[in-house]
Every structure is written in structure tokens, then in C-alpha cells.
Amino acid sequence: RFVPREHVIAAWGLGTLARFATLVVYAFVVVKVLALPAAPALVSLVACLFASTLLEPLFLKS
């Protein structure tokens, strides 16, 4: 197990906060520095983060 049973909710919450922080930094820093079109860049990142959210329970269980 990557996470003990008593800390599963904390690990899930930390993962959610990490994804949100990644999105905020990407939106305010990376998109502006690289002059990317905001909507497509953010939608593609959100899709990847959503996929990681779906896979996270597999890592928390094992």
C-alpha cells in the first residue's frame, strides 16, 4: 500500500489540492509565459488531471 488505511481520505484530499494548485500555476504562469491560447491549453490540462483523478483510487488501494 502506498497509503495506510487511516490516511486514505487525507491522501485523496492532498491529491485534489495538488491538482488544483497545478491548474492555477499553469493558468497564471505557463499559459502567459509561453503565450498559449488559454482555453485549449486549460481544457487539455483539465482532461489529463481528470484522468489522473480516475486512476488515483487504484494507487490508494494497492
- pTM to 2 decimals? 0.77
Asked if 45 and 26 count as a contact pair (C-beta separation under 8 A), the reply is yes
- Read off the pLDDT of residues 2-36 as tens digits, 9 standing for 90 and up: 667 778 788 888 889 999 999 999 999 999 999 99
Domain extent, residue 41, equals: 5-61
Angle at which helices 38-61 and 8-25 cross, to 10° = 160
The mean predicted confidence, pLDDT, of the chain is 88
Phi, psi (rounded to 5 degrees) for 4: -60, 155
- Read off the pLDDT of residues 40-62 as tens digits, 9 standing for 90 and up: 999 999 999 999 989 888 876 76
Phi, psi (rounded to 5 degrees) for 37: -65, 125
Question: What is the CB-side half-sphere exposure of residue 51 using CA atoms within 13 A?
Answer: 5
